[in-house]
Structure formats: C-alpha cells, structure tokens
A = this chain, B = another copy of it.
Amino acid sequence: MEEASPEVQARVRTSFEHQGLMEHLGARLTRISPGCVHIELPRRPEVTQQHGYFHAGATSAIADSAGGYAGLTLFAPDNSVLTVEFKINLLAPAEGDYLEAVGKVLKSGRTLTVCQLEVFAVEGDRRMSVAVGQQTLMQIAARPEH
C-alpha cells in the first residue's frame, strides 16, 4: 500500500498531535495511506482494565481515530471529519506488547464515509485480531481557526 502524499500526511499528523487523548494514552500514528491509517498503542498499566488486558475503551478509542483519519486522507484539504457512529465487536481479550488499529475506507461519499475498523494485538511474532468494527463519518466544512 503506497503512502499518502506529504501534504495529506502532514494534515493527518497535525490533527493527531492536537488530540490530547491520543497522546495521553501513548498512541502513535504508524501508517498513513490513502484511505487507510494505522495507529499503535503500547501496553501500559494506564490503558488496561481490571484483569490487565487492554481496556475496551482504549481499543475503541484508537479504532475510532484510525477510521476517522482514514476518512480524512480522502477529504478535501480544508474539510474536517466527525464520527457519526461506530460499532465494535470485541473478539478476544486484548493482550500483547501493543495494539494496532487499522481503519480502512469502504465507501467514500460526498457527505458520509463508511470505514471498516480492525484491531490486532501483537506479541512478538503473533498478530491476533481482537476487535472488528464499522464506522460512519461525516465530512464537514473546515472549522474556522479564529
């Protein structure tokens, strides 16, 4: 999969860096392709639930962001993205060195975009699907900066 243009990559990275939550969780952008974005989240006690697995809320948060940015790579340069809704199935306890969320655009319309979400738990060589989801995004005219 080819990488997105430098301009698109910069647009996505700038937005990501302004998301307090992603930084607070320790998430990082690891791939920005046209219509497809990867986000990784290393294991830390701060992102777990009561049994030491990754918390479903952390899994969902990076899945939602990966999908949102996948949509953004295909939007007009000045537009921004809003999550309308998403649905996620947690397939297995999420344990490993890190999670990798993959957001992929399935259908890009003028107003609405639909993405497939998948989250993998990676431990050494093993990469296991731990969540799958589906998301609806809305393309909105860019918010004025001031």
CA distance A57 to B72 in the complex (A): 17
Specify how many copies of this chain sit in the oligomer: 4
User: What is the minimal beta-carbon distance from A88 to any residue of chain B, in angstroms?
Assistant: 6
Q: Distance (Å) between the CB of A34 and the closest chain B CB? A: 19
A91–B65 touching, CB < 8 Å:
no
A33 / chain B contacts, CB cutoff of 8 Å: none
Q: Which 9 pairs show the lowest CB-CB distances between chains A and B?
A: A57-B61, A87-B87, A18-B50, A21-B55, A24-B46, A85-B89, A20-B48, A20-B45, A91-B107
Chain A residues near B (Cβ < 8 Å): 15-16, 18-25, 44-51, 55-58, 60-62, 64-65, 68, 80, 82-92, 106-107, 111-112, 114, 116, 129, 132-134, 136, 138, 143
